[in-house]
Amino acid sequence: MLDLLFPGRRLAFDSALSLEEVTRRLQQEIAAPALPIFDRRTQTFQGRFADGRFWMKRIVKGRNSFNLLIEGELSRVAGGTRVEARLQLHPLVLALLAIFTLVASQIAAIAAPEFLPVPGAGLAGGVAATLLIVGLCLAMSNVEARKTLKLLSGIFGAPPTQPRVTASPG
């Protein structure tokens, strides 16, 4: 679950579809970014796709807080196409929520100090509340990751697997 924060969840899709077919399917599902007011897109993702590389995020109407950034690359392999992808929660989302929670807990500690079990424990409570919020955000982004992976599996025609680690010559 923490891999969605940093460095990102790395996955591979080994598809029996040709590189051309996967490219066509991906191009159909990625729309260019648009203004939310005039958004009438039917695609599943918004982003960029060029030269076998893509950067995108899922189009979610009305709720985008836990939307994952997806970047990846297509390559031709024997018997089909390999898609290497990385899913990551936008770091700004977690940073803003952590800061908001820390500030809110400090304001609460100042406003109602009689509720603190230990005098001066405001910072510790703020850190604990921040960790709780970050944990909840990661759990929500994990739910979003499952939905996104299901959509990507449909596009690529293959379930996700762990990418192969190639040993560097040394």
> What residues make up the domain containing 26?
2-92+129-160
Verdict on whether the full-model pTM lies above 0.85: no
Q: Residue range 84-104: average pLDDT?
A: 79
Task: Using pLDDT thresholds of 50, 70 and 90, give the confidence band for residue 64.
Answer: low
Answer whether residue 169 is part of any domain. Answer: no
Answer whether residue 31 is part of any domain. Answer: yes
Task: Using pLDDT thresholds of 50, 70 and 90, give the confidence band for residue 43.
Answer: confident
Answer whether residue 101 is part of any domain. Answer: no
Average model confidence (pLDDT) across the chain: 79
Chain Cα centroid distance, residue 98: 17
- More confident call, 13 vs 170: 13
Q: What is the CATH number of the domain that holds 9?
A: 3.30.310
In total, how many domains does the chain have?
Answer: 1
Long-range contacts of residues 91-94, Cβ cutoff 8 Å, at least 24 apart: 91/5, 91/6, 93/65, 93/66, 93/137, 94/5, 94/134, 94/137, 94/138
Q: What is the pLDDT of residue 164?
A: 64
Answer whether residue 99 is part of any domain. Answer: no
Pick from 150, 21, 164, 145: nearest CA to 80: 21
